[in-house]
Amino acid sequence: LEFGINPAPLTSNIPEKKRKNITMMKIAGLVLALASSAAAFAPTSQKSSSALSMAKLDDMAGSTMPLKTFDPLGLATLGSDETLAWFRAAELKHSRVAMLATTGYLVQAAGIHFPGMLSKDVSFESLSTMKPFDAWDAVPDAGKQQIIGLIFLAEIISEANGTHYTKGGDLPTVIFPPIDFSTVDDATMKIKRDRELNNGRLAMIAIMSFSAAANIPGSVPALAGNPMF
């Protein structure tokens, strides 16, 4: 606006339904971001983490060969130990979401679907014939609201469960289905945590690639020409 540019044409060609979807996702993202970061603004001890040793980072879950501690921007030394715990929780949550998203995209692309109807007007079979992002657009608004509402509820539960992870509590756990790891020994648990984070990091790269290929033709050469992108 300061340069005399009218932003209206940027959105004038976007269909009304897609504009509504974009607005809904922005609102959902804002709500979830506020929910997950609320505890970060509570009074905490400001113990500096600038003195964190590489040995301490190497002991964290997910620090595995061949890269071990890969932190070229030095993010682990920003703020306090509470900040580092928040970063790790954020990575863990994004990893889990990315694994679900990547699996869901592949299942949808393979044409696998539930039987019956999603709503009175939309069948699961009809959605299975569409590209994944087109299928999301075809889901009724009420269905999208239910999905986002469940995600919001899971986020609230994970953030309010016991002592918060920025205060020394456990990192967020899977809400549904609940999984009991109390009988797993520490060595096996470390392996499982390493695998979860490493698989999640790969899944984040995968879903970013899928999104790029679906929205910018040719941006991912390996996926160019695939009918589901």
pLDDT at position 58 is 73
pTM exceeding the 0.75 threshold for the entire prediction:
no
What one-character-per-residue DSSP string does 22-88 give? Answer: HHHHHHHHHHHHHHHHGGGGS-----B-TT--HHHHHTSTT--TTTSS--TT-GGGSSBHHHHHHHH
**What would the two tokens of residue 13 be?**
């060609």
* SS3 sequence of 158-179: HHCCCCCHHHCCCCCCCCCCCC
Calpha distance 86→84 (Å, rounded):
5
Per-residue pLDDT of the chain (229 residues; tens, 9 = 90+): 444 444 444 444 556 655 655 566 555 555 555 444 443 333 333 343 344 445 567 778 887 887 777 777 888 778 788 888 898 899 999 999 999 999 999 998 888 999 999 999 999 999 988 988 899 999 999 999 999 999 999 889 888 888 998 898 888 887 777 778 888 898 998 899 999 999 999 999 999 999 999 999 899 999 988 888 8
